[in-house]
Every structure is written in structure tokens, then in C-alpha cells.
Structure 1
Amino acid sequence: MTAATAETLTSRVWRTLATVVDPELDEAITDLGFVAGVQVRLHDDRGHAVSVRLRLPTYFCAPNFAYLMVADAHDAVLALPSVDTVDIVLEDHFAAEEINAGVAADAGFSGSFPAQAGGELDELRRTFRRKAHLACLERAVRKLVAEGWQVDALSAGRLGDVPQSPERESLLRRRAELGLPTDPASPLLLEDSGEEIPAENVAARLRFAKAVRVSIEGNAGLCRGLLHTRYSRMAEEVPS
């Protein structure tokens, strides 16, 4: 493997990891600083082996959230062309051994924690996707209000009314994840079930969406601070 090939594939791995999000914070694990390193080497004549090191803000971060990120990172990187094997290693976490082994063996969350898990994490993932949709909807609505829309008029708004912007792109992705329509003519204000939000419920629903968005952003800020403090302290403790 030439240096140029390794550099190109390493860059693709980092871009792919940027599509993996913390399920609770709805931000890319790369933006949050959770990816500690990526290593690519030639595995055989057919493909490459990729190793990724992940780290989290605290030793006791919820193992179900951690499992989702490790599993999603594994699946995303393994799907890259020319990648033959993937080793995702979660470091400095109380359940790292179980999570790393379970993801490597494709055992699922229940198989990784047979004595504790009550099932797989599909419903948990859906719950956080619904919260992410609400937060993205509130951001898109705030953009419209800043441009002069009145709250009373939002019930008649269409997805196409949201101008091209990061807020629009995020909302489209979250709607697609929930199976909601993404065509410009579809109603802007939809429940997670796909039903339109009645005009009389718009104000209350948007207040709730704002609370969800503020909570997500606040938790993300807290996690960034904890991660920085944790690993800055570890670096200071390493003997020179």
C-alpha cells in the first residue's frame, strides 16, 4: 500500500465516521471529539484493515449509547470499498471489553450483555431519532420566523418554504430516518407519526420542541467540556 493510498483511505474513513452520530446528542462523533485515532494498513491483496479508537467523556457513559456508536462506526467503515476488516476499540470505559467483543462478534446488545440487557436497542434508537427530528424542526421554524413568518401561519407551511440551509438539510435527514415525506410540497409541521400538527397545537408543540433542542445542545456542550477535562488531565498525568 502506497503512502498516497493509505492517506486517501484514511481520509475516507474519517469522512465516514463523520456520518456516525451520538444517539443522544445528535452530533457526529468526529465533531464531538470521540474519535481518538484512525489507522489503516494493507490486510491482504484484496483489502485493507482499519482500526479506530473511540473515547467518551466519562468512564461511566451509558453502555447502550456507547454500544450504538461503536456498532454504527463498525458498520459504516466496513461498508467502504477496499476495507476488508474493521476493529473499533472503545477505550477507558467500564464496559469497553463487553462492547468491543460484542460488536466484533456481531452479538448485538443482548448478546454483549446477556445478564443485563432487556432486548435490542431499536426502540431506543427510534426514541432519539424522534427527539432529533423535533430539534431539527424547531431550528427550521426559527429560521422561518427570523425571516418574517408568523407562528399562526406555520400550520400552512410546506417543507419547500424552508430555504436551502444546514437547518433544512438536517431536517430532511431526520425526516427520512423516520420515514416521513421529504418532498417540498409536504407539510412542514408533522408529528413523528406523519400526521399534521393541528393549528391549535402548533404553539405548544413548538415550545416542547424548543425544550428538546435546548436539552440536546446543553448535553452536547457538557460532554465536550467533560471530554476536554478528562483527557487533558490524563495527558498531564503521563510521566515524561
Structure 2
Amino acid sequence: MTSELRKPAWEALHQVIDPELDEPITDLGFVRSLEVTESGEVEVHLRLPTSFCAPNFAYLMASDAKDVLRAIPGVACVVVELDDHHDSELINAGLAADAGYRDTFPGEADEDLEELRATFRRKAHAAAMERVLTRLLKDRPELAEEDLHAITVADLPDEPATRSLLNRRAAVGFDNSASALVLVDDAGDPCTPEQVPFRLRFARATRISVEGNSHFCRGLLRTRYPGSAADQAPRATTSGGRAS
């Protein structure tokens, strides 16, 4: 059973996304170890780039890891622990007791984890939207920037960046039908031609911030844990675009 469960366990962990960096924890090298026993017990240890990474992000990722592993058929017991964090003891105790974030940090957790997820899902959507539309401007030189307000899902090429955008649109509850407009604000409302430059610049700033944080955190992890570079998957690079 060990070999049968290890692959689905790793695939499940790949579904857990760092909310700030918008990448799977498996690609980032945050999974320090994964052990699966013959009786279906799964134990995972996570690591982060620094000991002072935000506790809410840390708890969210560890909690999500426990949830996805529990959902695997044949898994009998799941233990997820966060190593080398200044709140490891609190977080690990909360995870073991299924206490939830607010009860793990009583008096400190003002923001619900679902609110946190929603905030970073909107950022991930904005970054993915900018990637796709900037690439579209490059590939279709007849398009002016203001023309982007009329681009629909059906106008997008069938490629990984588009599929990534559609996944992020679905995560925030936006329409993915063929006639749905691509360039929208955080509430899903369409932009006028006059609003396009501002919205695109804002989305570009968000994307650059996400990618910059990812690069920085990957480097910190490699410094903190020598040899961890082998556990990191290359991040897909953003295609160049016309607007800056």
C-alpha cells in the first residue's frame, strides 16, 4: 500500500498552493518529507524560507495539506507538521487537534482563513489575466491596448497560460463561458476602453510582485536548507509584452 498511496499523496500535496506566491508547495520545495506506511498512515513535514513567515500563511498551507491528504481513499491517518517556524509548536498542536486557525491563535486571528484565501485568489487572478493579455498584445500586433476591453474567453489561445487563467477565474467565481469578457476588475465587472490602461498596469504590478516574492522566497529556502534546490521545480517564466 505504501507505493500505491505515495503517488496520490504527492499529487494531493501538489494541489496545495502558497497563497502569496501562487505556486504549489511541492514546486516551491516546501515539502520536507513525506512518509506513508503500509497501514495507510501519512506523515508530512513542511518547511518555509524563514522562521518568521506569516503564521496565517503557514497555518493555511499546513491545514490545506492535511485536508487534501485526508481525502485520499485508503488513507487512515494524517499527521502534518511545520518544522523550524517560530510558531511551530502552536501550529502543530492546532493541526493535531483540528482546532482551526482562530482557536489555534486565540485573540490574534482577526482575519478568517477564507477571507485570506479570497484576497490572494483575486491577486492570482489579476496576475494570470495580465500574463495572458500582455502575451495577446505581443502575438496580435493589430490589437491596440484599449481593444482588450472586448476580448472574450473564446478569443484566447488554447495554451497553458489560458488554462491557468480559466482555473483562477473559476476559483474566484467568474464566468468562463466563451462570451465572457476577460479583462475585469476584482469584482468581475468589465472595464471600459478608458479603464484598460489602469487595470492592466495594476494587474501587471500584482504579477511582478507575486513573481518577485516567489524568486526571493525560493532563494531564501535554498540558503536556509542546503540541497533544497533539488526539490524546487522551475517557475514558468512570463512571456514578454508590449506594455511596461
TM-score by length of 1: 0.90
- Asked whether the equivalents of residues 108 and 120 of structure 1 are also in contact (C-alpha less than 8 Å), the reply is no
What is the CA deviation profile of residues 104-162 of structure 1, one whole-angstrom value per residue up to 9, with x for unaligned ones? 22211110011322242222211111111100000110221121132121111001211
Moved more, 145-154 or 207-216: 145-154
What is the CA deviation profile of residues 42-65 of structure 1, one whole-angstrom value per residue up to 9, with x for unaligned ones? 33xxxx111111000001111000
- 2:51 pairs with 44, 59, 73, which one? 59
- 2:70 pairs with 67, 74, 78, which one? 78
Gaps of 5+ in 1: 235-240
Q: CA RMSD in A?
A: 1.4
- 2:124 pairs with 117, 132, 147, which one? 132
TM-score by length of 2: 0.89
Moved more, 48-57 or 108-117: 108-117
What is the CA deviation profile of residues 196-236 of structure 1, one whole-angstrom value per residue up to 9, with x for unaligned ones? 112210111001100000000000000000000001299xx
| Higher RCO structure, 1 or 2 (CA under 8 Å, sep 6+) | 2
Secondary structure at the residue paired with 1:88?
strand
Structural mapping, 1:1-240, within 5 Å: 5-43=1-39, 48-148=40-140, 149-232=143-226
Tell me by how many angstroms 1:96 deviates: 0.9
- Asked whether the equivalents of residues 109 and 119 of structure 1 are also in contact (C-alpha less than 8 Å), the reply is no
Give every structure 1 segment of 4 or more consecutive aligned residues whose post-TM-superposition deviation is greater than 2 Å. Answer: none
Whole-Å separation in 1 of the counterparts to 2:30 and 2:63: 14
Q: What percent identity do the matched residue pairs reach?
A: 48
Q: Which amino acid aligns with 2:224?
A: R
Count of residues in correspondence between the two structures: 226
Secondary structure at the residue paired with 1:51?
strand
Q: Which amino acid aligns with 2:114?
A: D
- Asked whether the equivalents of residues 47 and 82 of structure 2 are also in contact (C-alpha less than 8 Å), the reply is yes
Whole-Å separation in 2 of the counterparts to 1:98 and 1:157: 48
